[in-house]
Amino acid sequence: QVQLVESGGGSVQPGGSLRLSCAVSGLFYENYCLGWFRQAPGKEREGVAAMYTGGGSVYYTDSVKGRFTISRDHAKNTLYLQMNTLESEDTAVYYCAAETRLGTLADVTCTLRARRNEFAYWGQGTQVTVSS
């Protein structure tokens, strides 16, 4: 059974930083796509960042480029999202997600699925609030 458990959310002032973590288990594939998504009140869920564990291109939505960094600790089976210079617009519930249906050009497919919210496995989410 695939499980994704997020942690690290909280409240922070504008300009501050947070690091989200996602413990991943139950994915018995050599490589797969991992991503972070967010949903703000009254808005649709959007892909924030995604990476293919086999390497290649990494996806970031335009609004977080240069501020957020996605990374993974293979040994700990943990995905991270380092968020710096946070803005009030970053306030949302953040979700960790995984996708294994990638086929060839897996890193490109990973990006496309992140843009389209087409991931199969989801965590419960963690709240991030940026406010003064």
Residue range 15-31, pLDDT digits in tens: 999 999 999 999 988 89
Asked if pLDDT for residue 38 goes beyond 90, the answer is yes
- 44-90 pLDDT tens trace: 999 999 999 988 889 999 999 999 999 999 999 999 999 999 999 99
Q: What are phi and psi of 68, to 5 degrees?
A: -110, 150
DSSP state, residue 26: S
d(CA 81, CA 69): 6
The single-letter DSSP state of residue 14 is T
